[in-house]
Amino acid sequence: MSEPLYMSKEGIIKLENELRRLKFEERPKIVAEIKRTMELGDLSENAEYHAAKEAQTHLERKIAELEYKLSRVQRLDMDAIPSDKVYLFAKVLVRDTSDGEEIEYTIAPPEETDVDNDIISVESPIGKALLGKSEGETVQIKVPAGTIEYEIIKISRD
């Protein structure tokens, strides 16, 4: 049996919408393109046909991947997750001890990360280092640029 994939309601909806788009918008476009290129003649030397078939293979792989993820999804009850420590879906306000700069991260499963909005993976170096820690604790994190030290200022779930 596969390992469960924990996600928020919003994350599940996002995956379902992407799957629907691939199946009902992208798949018919590729099928139409394959049909069009088949009409061009000799398939053995038809580069457009082969490109369309390759795109179809890639699309079907993405669809199968999404279906597999959705088959493993376990929706998390956010209200049942304690807020005294950093757990999945916690918002964590940290202060960089070297320059005093503050940043708020949301800890999320890898499928729900959005680095541009400071939603980081629980599997990232920062996510792993913060997991299970409490307000007031200081953590040292090895990142590609060196080591950073964060003090956990606040943990919330809103």
Q: Which two tokens stand for residue 114?
A: 């959005």
Q: Where are the domains of the chain?
A: 5-75, 78-156
CA distances from 81 to 23, 86, 157 (A): 34, 10, 9
5-75 fold: Helix Hairpins (1.10.287)
Give tens-digit pLDDT for 105-148.
999 888 888 889 889 998 899 999 999 999 999 999 998 888 99
Q: Which two tokens stand for residue 57?
A: 């293979």
Give tens-digit pLDDT for 65-102.
999 888 888 787 666 666 788 888 889 999 999 999 99
CB 47 within 8 A of CB 110: no
78-156 fold: Chitinase A; domain 3 (3.10.50)
